[in-house]
Amino acid sequence: MKLVIFDLDGTILDTVKDLTSAVNHLLKQLNRPLIEANQVKAYLGQGPKYLLEHALNEPLEGELFDRYYKIYNDYYQAHQLDYTKPYEGIPKVLNTLKKSGYLLAVVSNKQAPVTQSLMEKLFPNTFDVVIGTSKINLPKPDPSMVLKVMEELKVTKEETIYIGDTQTDMKTAINADLVKIAVLYGFRTKEDLMPYEPEYFVSTPLEILEIMNTIKS
């Protein structure tokens, strides 16, 4: 393996408290009932549109989505590091992989500017490519962002492994024909991810290093 591609929320960072605060900020502005972190966690993994539609329990299109997303995102941008932190062991995993010569990438369904901002603040000079959704980057499980990373880094699918915590991540890896590590310390359970037949499961970040050592040998 040459390239390790990580999902962001629920895989590298525990973001659920700050995301819940941002969602509830929007709900307060609209005089809607607030929701709990566990509800938000269930809606994560498929991008902000999916998150807001399910939090509001209504479809959002065009100008309405843009308006609601701005309220949500302005608050989130200002508070994205109030509680967000790397999962215990993630800094060691990333440093060890990088020192071992692996290329590292993040592919997230967060909007591209938010994804890049978080990685620059928390993990400067760590990732070779950081990519999020945009007008030209379709959200996962479409594999186009993953394939774009592989093309940019000139790495084949046989040289790439994908690590994520949601059904969307597993579908993305399947669509890109990649070996996948399913994370169980994030936002989903083993029962949620089993149907996608991941090659590996990890209960802690440090287990990623054990798997990479096994693959390497």
- The 10s digit of each residue's pLDDT in 141-183 is 999 999 999 999 999 999 999 999 999 999 999 999 999 999 9
At 197, the pLDDT band (50, 70, 90 cuts) reads very high
The alpha carbon of residue 87 and the mean position of all alpha carbons in its chain are separated, in whole angstroms, by 13
- Residue pair 180/36 in contact (Cβ under 8 Å)? The answer is no
Is the CATH number 1.10.150.240 carried by domain 16-79? yes
Predicted confidence at residue 135, as pLDDT, reads 86
- Would you tell me which CATH number, out of the four given (3.40.605.10, 3.40.50.1000, 1.10.150.390, 3.40.50.2000), belongs to the domain 3-14+84-216? 3.40.50.1000
The full set of domain ranges for the chain reads 3-14+84-216, 16-79
pLDDT over threshold 60, residue 80: yes
